[in-house]
């Protein structure tokens, strides 16, 4: 008690900054622990005796090789009542030949084609709309052709997450750990999924994932699809989560049978998903931005204040101990999240980006701001 009194008397105004640092530490740890609890508890599929029909919709533009490589994984799903619709977006390669070849072996494959027209601008949203209108079933399951389901039960398990009150379901998608030079991309997708789970738990329906998400056709039609923003590339997944939340529940699922694997692509012109994510955030209101970035803001304030107190000479050994507690806690809890999602070989990169990767975030925010025209 005497040493505490001496500390209080000798610290002057710095003691109040030290108290603020401890408060920030408590908030920091609360946010980390709450995230782990949300991820650990993740939703379970419903035990549905009946099986609803599912229409899998994929858009493709000059992706003949990816179609040949990945489309069979979508067509070989262990489910009785489903179809796969491929919308060809003005492809100039062998896409049509590949589709015709695969269709011989898989009658559940259907395709439609958009032809180039100088009078109209064709966007991904238009391609999705064409696929939706062609679908026979009410549950629409979306992915990309550079992806493939992790198991043969993807369709079955995703549809099992729906009940009469469910409007949309978002699943997990990531690169394989064996892929070369994708550590940052894997970490980004891992951390983004954790953030999405927390946001949905907080009833903030902001982000979707075009690689692995499903929603009901009836709600899409009632909402008039992308009528409010049909010409922008941004929002083909995020806008649907936001709009369809008016009709029912939005669910996140971490069940391994719902996972989708993404292929690393070296193809020029492919969408930079990190830039896409930060460009999408620029469309959010300030309140929504603060809601998505509050963890990063708390971390930034915590580290900045810790550095300030060390520079001012306020018992640096104790300040270092407080920072070490924060680091160790984050280290352990992030590893638990990775185990819950059965993710390997991404922990260290995710930890660096999650805790002190402020430069990384600023870079992509700046890059997306100065390149935002490409998304319009």
Average pLDDT, the chain: 85
My answer on whether 194 and 335 are in the same domain is no
- The two tokens of residue 33 are 């622990």
Contact 142, 214 (CB under 8 A): yes
Phi/psi of residue 174, nearest 5 degrees: -160, 170
Of 97-101, 112-116, 229-233, 276-280, the poorest mean pLDDT is in: 229-233
Could you tell me the residue range of the domain that residue 7 belongs to? 2-41+286-370
272: in domain: yes
What are the b/e assignments for 72-104, b being 16+ CB within 10 Å? ebbbebebeebbbbbbbbebeeebeebbeebbe
Pick the closest to residue 244 from 189, 172, 165 (CA basis).
Answer: 165
Q: Where are the alpha helices (DSSP H) in the chain?
A: 2-11, 14-41, 64-75, 95-103, 124-134, 154-160, 183-201, 217-222, 238-244, 273-281, 286-311, 316-340, 347-356, 358-370
375: in domain: no
Q: What is the DSSP letter of 136?
A: S
Q: Which of 266, 281, 296 is the last residue of a domain?
A: 281
Distance CA(176)–CA(261), nearest Å, equals 7
> What is the per-residue pLDDT for 1?
47
My answer on whether 204 and 307 are in the same domain is no
Q: What CATH number has the domain bearing residue 71?
A: 3.90.550.10
Contact 169, 45 (CB under 8 A): no
> What is the per-residue pLDDT for 45?
61
Number of domains in the chain: 2
> What is the per-residue pLDDT for 49?
60
Higher pLDDT pick, 9 / 76: 76
* Mean pLDDT of all residues in 180-203: 89
User: What count of residues does the chain have?
Assistant: 376
> What is the per-residue pLDDT for 267?
56
Per DSSP, the three-state class of 150 is coil
Distance of CA 136 to CAs 48, 99, 105, 165, 221, Å?
21, 19, 20, 21, 13
My answer on whether 194 and 80 are in the same domain is yes
Distance of CA 165 to the CA centre of its chain: 22
Each residue's pLDDT tens digit, 46-95:
666 668 899 999 999 888 999 999 999 999 999 999 999 999 988 888 88
């Amino acid at each position: 008690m005497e040493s505490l009194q001496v500390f209080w008397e000798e610290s002057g105004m710095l003691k109040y900054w030290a108290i603020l640092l401890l408060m920030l530490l408590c908030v920091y740890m609360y946010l980390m622990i709450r995230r782990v609890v949300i991820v650990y508890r993740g939703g379970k599929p419903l035990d549905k005796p009946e099986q609803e029909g599912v229409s899998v919709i994929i858009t493709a533009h000059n992706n003949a090789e990816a179609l040949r490589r990945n489309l069979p994984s979508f067509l070989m799903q262990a489910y009785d009542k489903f179809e796969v619709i491929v919308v060809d977006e003005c492809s100039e390669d062998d896409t049509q030949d590949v589709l015709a070849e695969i269709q011989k072996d898989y009658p559940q494959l259907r395709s439609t084609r958009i032809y180039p027209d100088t009078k109209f601008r064709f966007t991904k949203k238009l391609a999705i709309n064409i696929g939706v209108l062609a679908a026979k079933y009410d549950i629409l399951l979306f992915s990309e052709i550079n992806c493939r389901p992790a198991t043969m039960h993807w369709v079955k398990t995703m549809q099992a997450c729906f009940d009469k009150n469910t409007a949309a379901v978002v699943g997990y998608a990531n690169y394989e750990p064996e892929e070369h030079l994708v550590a940052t991309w894997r970490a980004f997708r891992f951390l983004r999924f954790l953030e999405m789970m927390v946001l949905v738990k907080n009833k903030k329906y902001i982000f979707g994932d075009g690689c692995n998400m499903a929603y009901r056709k009836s709600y899409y039609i009632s909402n008039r699809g992308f009528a409010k923003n049909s010409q922008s590339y941004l929002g083909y997944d995020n806008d649907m989560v936001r709009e369809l939340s008016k009709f029912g529940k939005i669910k996140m699922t971490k069940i391994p049978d719902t996972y989708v694997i993404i292929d690393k692509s070296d193809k020029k012109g492919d969408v930079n998903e990190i830039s896409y994510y930060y460009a999408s955030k620029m469309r959010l209101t300030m309140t929504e931005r603060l809601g998505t970035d509050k963890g990063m803001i708390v971390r930034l304030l915590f580290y900045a204040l810790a550095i300030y107190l060390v520079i001012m000479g306020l018992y640096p050994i104790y300040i270092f101990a407080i920072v070490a507690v924060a680091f160790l806690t984050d280290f352990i809890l992030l590893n638990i999240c990775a185990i819950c999602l059965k993710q390997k070989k991404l922990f260290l990169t995710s930890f660096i980006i999650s805790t002190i990767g402020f430069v990384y975030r600023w870079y992509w925010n700046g890059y997306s701001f100065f390149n935002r025209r490409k998304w319009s």
